[in-house]
Amino acid sequence: MNIFSIIFVLISFGSLIGAFLLEGGSPGMLAATSAAIIVFGGTIGSVGLGFSAKKLKNIPAMLKLIFTAKDKDLVEIVSYFKNLSFKTRKEGLLSIEGEITDALDPFIKKGLQLVVDGVEPQMVKTILEFELESTYDRHKEGAAIFDAAGGFAPTMGIIGTVMGLVQVLSNLSDPAVLGEKIAVAFIATLYGVGSANLLWLPMAGRLKDLNNEEIKEKQLIIEAVLLMQEGANPNILAEKLKGFLDKKQIKRFNEMNNGGA
């Protein structure tokens, strides 16, 4: 479980609800079943109409990814390929066959298997880049679902508010309850705008960020596999791969490999 995702969700909702309570409101005032049905039901229906069933089936997996994904450790990957390069320089490319196990990252495993099988470097690059592009497209489609929900939800909130006001204005016989009914009507707008900006759009943003991290990781792996296949010096390989790291990661890599030099 990614604890930071949970913490920020709690901060978002907690800040709004807490401020509302400080102004003298009560939690019950924010509860409106009919508004929730209109906003969330309408949003789900609109998203379902806009995307294929095949893509919608991936929503549970995407939600799991949003709240459980860990940051990519590019430093470990660079170190792994540097050490592996030392081995291939001494024992040949076929010596890495023993490294290809089920415990290995699937993308690294695929790249190493292609090398062991003697596939030409250009073909190795083509195959791995095609998988990278497929991953990018798949993740982009996932983020688009939550982006769409973030667009539909505020509109559904407005629709719910209008429907509530229509009901209020159609019955003006009891002025004493008009304020309460109007307030309930506007809860739909709150649900729509709130869910869009606290749930759907942040989730889409998280998926895009995870996609960027994974693409960067796969680009590093492709470069590492090709450098190793061409027999690059391990130190040269590491220096080239460090181009994928930021300053903090480079410092950590140097500390891991040569005592911080």
Instruction: Give residue 48's pLDDT.
Output: 95
Residue 258 or residue 230, greater confidence? 230
Task: Tell me if 20 is assigned to some domain.
Answer: no
**What confidence tens digit (pLDDT) does each residue in 92-136 have?**
888 888 888 888 889 999 999 999 999 999 999 999 999 999 989
Question: pTM for this one?
Answer: 0.83
Mean pLDDT for 9-13 is: 86
Q: What angle do CA 204, 209, 214 make, to 5 degrees?
A: 125
Task: Tell me if 19 is assigned to some domain.
Answer: no
Instruction: Give residue 261's pLDDT.
Output: 42
Q: What angle do CA 66, 67, 71 make, to 5 degrees?
A: 75
Task: Tell me if 48 is assigned to some domain.
Answer: yes
Task: Tell me if 187 is assigned to some domain.
Answer: yes
Domain count, the chain: 1
Instruction: Give residue 259's pLDDT.
Output: 52
Instruction: Give residue 176's pLDDT.
Output: 67
Kindly indicate the confidence band of residue 260, based on its pLDDT and cuts at 50, 70 and 90: very low
Domain boundaries, position 61: 32-74+123-258
Q: What is the DSSP string of 158-223?
A: HHHHHHHHHHHHT--S-GGGHHHHHHHHHHHHHHHHHHIIIIIHHHHHHHHHHHHHHHHHHHHHHH
Task: Tell me if 130 is assigned to some domain.
Answer: yes
Tokens coding 85: 């390069």
Cβ–Cβ under 8 Å, residues 258 and 234: no
